Structure 1
């Protein structure tokens, strides 16, 4: 079978990337398996099984590559990961906002630095085990149309939300062969049939570089100091208690507040300058609009912006998500002109008030199944 092209397959040692490599080889691609070295020591095992590139994961990835007869290598990207993911994660929390390191890893590592590395290996594409679909429909005239990033067939595993940074230029070089498959019915079955050790490996959970998902302790250890204590206050300014670091609290949080009350209380504000955490009722969490910056269009930017302008002051109807697994929320999007020194973004009005909109998190907008773009909540 003639080769369909040379592809770098990002291999983590998990079931998804293993099956990705298998499917692409079956389809006639020349595959090169690559694992990114991100946080580990020289032994690749300084964080044990919690690491994103633990020794056992590397062994599993290499075993799959050997079974498939494809070359395999490990590439050191610790400096980029530290600068663009870990340091940003810490600084975002220190600014009183809620980061999303998985989105930054996809943007700067998997489909940034690793895509550049793929080109250095003469690979035309990079492939990952993400659950989403990349398509290119023809235009009415029959010519190739724009690329689209769409939701996966497996709604429960859909990862299009964390892939919004895939621009038209990047989509042209991305393969996501799992997008049309169901994980439990298809992917795990294929892995078992091929004898991959990862067939029954559980899905990764939490933040790969933060042991036990305890980000506050991670930041304390990294900074070499304890987080400063401060006041927990009500929306009227009444002191309700003390906290052991404002960074331990997230907008919308209800549990672990350390305050007794006759009615449910939620975190509705984190002020790092005054080092206070504000608690209020559920009504204090509701908002029907947001501004987002650092905006990236996955769909063709000029086309979408023209549609928004044509929609007028009411805004272009879209579906929006402010959390990974949130159901679609009907909304309208308008463009926001850049002020001096600031980047242009968007304004989103929700048809139904939303609970716990957290600055620093991602908001992603859709047109049906297709991702239009996304950005960071301001």
Structure 2
């Protein structure tokens, strides 16, 4: 996946820059065409001549050092790149990218490139924990940049670890895995539901839940990365999509989500119901605001339609995946749901676990297919969890000859 690829290796000024030498060497050995762009600070740790010898290409440092008068260097390199890897990525360079600052060769190249960018952070543990750094990484994550987590378990959007740069082979493997995912769902149509629903009580009140939709949105992004044509039916959510090719349909209530999911279900190959749909809604909706009064107020509730069960009853060629957010005996209840609703797979969350559940940037899950084969997904960012789920779905569909 890196052989014959044009790889720009961005090296910023941290002590971990020495590992970038091995990374440049490994990439070259694997057949990649490597060009190194260094910050001035990075040259204090490693000589540009070292990277020139390892990559067999000139090293770029100064934005105004135009090696070829016929070309603007940072634009030429930005256009040339298939892949950009920033290793090490300091707090400074992450902040520059996140805020659109282009004041040296590396930052101008990053602002101009359309290539897939991988960021491998490395910095002091307290710098990792600083709110500014966390917010910058979250912004880049939302924009579709790919983080390669340090080897000591730091997760890109806020989980605190030692901040040690991942080893060169692991960085390459992460890039290879991500590149391999591209195109695995080419020609497939994927329908995903995400977020909560709102069930109206009166003009100013409604019932809802803690879901933000981040997991479902991450699944939509991961499926689109894998080459699928994606439709996302989203309940009320503040989440944004970085991939503009995803067809987003906004709904409010469980009934509206039921209608849209059934409308699009027949034409899709893979259907993932990640939304946290209300199980109950008020039986009577008041047309005027209910005034505060003495004593208790009881609201009679009625069941909403079970979207997942109804899809399982009519599915034909579709690969149907459900989610089970549980707090007690999650795997037991998840397997029951898998069987009862005629699913091909289910993703089970213990939402009470630290690092999992609604609203956070990380998740922990168990993917179980209809053969009851479990695949554990350890603590990771939700986009990484989503990518693993897509890989499992692709694997299971191929096993079934789909």
User: What's the TM-score, normalizing by structure 2?
Assistant: 0.28
Answer 1 or 2: higher relative contact order, Cα 8 Å, separation at least 6: 1
Q: Whose strand fraction is larger, Structure 1's or Structure 2's?
A: 1
Task: Decide which structure has the larger Cα Rg and report it.
Answer: 2
User: What's the TM-score, normalizing by structure 1?
Assistant: 0.30
